[in-house]
Structure 1
Amino acid sequence: FGFAMGMAPGHEFSFERSHFKLTKEYVELLNGWNSPLFQEFRKLFVTGFLQARKNSLIALGMVEIMMYESNYPCFTGTRYGNGVSLKRFENRLMLHIPDDQVQRRAEKLIDQAYNHGGTNLYDKFQNWSNGYAI
């Protein structure tokens, strides 16, 4: 649950600053940026994001239950404990943004995640340090 709760290797100094991983290869699998398949992905991403917001009380309640007496690192310590992870998760749902602006913001998340430099650096580091394929 770490990444979903705002936890990343290296903490504040992490290369991995993208909201989610969307490499060139992922987009190529969908036949490219302008393909109907990728446009369908964008539409489904926005729809999913809107539904996550719509059901945010349920999702936030479930996270709060998971946090109770948890030993998971993403819920403990000074960086993540005392409700910090829950607040970060709530912020990622953009509940403070009016509904009429959410589609544009969700699409911006896709645009920012695509071929993100930090993701590429992190993948190269993982390949170098652990032999993970990139």
Structure 2
Amino acid sequence: MTEHAANPGEAFQSAQRNFVRSLAAYSLLSYLFLFKDRHNGNIMLDTAGHVIHIDFGFVFGIAPGGNFSLEGSTPFKLTEEMIEVMDGLRSSLFSEFVTLFCCGFLALQAHCDTFVTLVEVTSRGSTFPCFDGKDSADIISKMQERFCPELNKEETIAHVLDVIKESIGSYGTKQYDYFQYLSQGIAA
């Protein structure tokens, strides 16, 4: 993209902003709906810098390794490389990511009941692997807990900041990416 742009520096900055914004949205959805199988082969970038997740076969906590999941305890994928694209933890781009994640969470939290209803309806009689043979009430209850509907705004922001901190450079994420590199040749 930057090779063919009239102003490569401006094109790169635009791609960085698109990366930050789309990463915040992707991270929110990954956390709330428990996307798994988040290796680098399933996370794409378009030419404008937007993060695009493919392969939604593992949601609501089901994972390729079954009960053994290296990504299980990580809220969402936030690698050192992603932080590097945002110019580091002390950058304005990372601050924008945090702000967007917090504001996005608050906006989604306000519609928690709608999401719960949609998942509840979808789960009824579903043969989707995330629901088939599973306790839908438990899946829905845990999803609702992730929305933290009982917290006020300040408590929610504190919780969300903890979720982000827990995701930064997660050991489980690093190990899963390394496993994918060894077993599939997918670059970490």
Name the structure 1 match of 2:149: 95
Deviations 1:48-102 (A, max 9, x none): 111111010111111112112211111122xx33322111211111223333201
TM (norm. structure 2) is 0.65
Q: Distance in 1 between matches of 2:186 and 2:76?
A: 18
The answer as to 2:174 corresponding to 1:128 is: no
Task: State the Cα RMSD in Å.
Answer: 1.6
1:20 to 76, 89, 96: 76
What SS does the aligned partner of 1:126 have? helix
1:117 to 161, 168, 171: 171
Q: Distance in 2 between matches of 1:5 and 1:41?
A: 24
Name the structure 2 match of 1:48: 104
Q: How does 1:66-105 map to 2 (within 5 A)?
A: 66-77=122-133, 80-105=134-159
Q: Which has the larger radius of gyration?
A: 2
Q: Distance in 1 between matches of 2:166 and 2:64?
A: 20
- Any unmatched runs of 5+ in structure 1? none
Q: How many residues align?
A: 132
What SS does the aligned partner of 2:77 have? coil
- Any unmatched runs of 5+ in structure 2? 1-32, 36-58
The 1:2/1:43 distance shift into structure 2, 3 A limit, reads closer
Whichever structure has more helix as a proportion of its residues is 1
Choose 84-93 or 110-119, whichever is displaced more. Answer: 84-93
Identity of aligned residues (%): 33
Runs of 4 or more consecutive aligned structure 1 residues displaced over 3 Å after TM superposition: none
Name the structure 2 match of 1:10: 65
- Counterpart of 1:6, as a letter, is G
Name the structure 1 match of 2:115: 59
1:46–1:106 Cα contact (<8 Å) kept: yes
1:33 to 73, 77, 89: 89
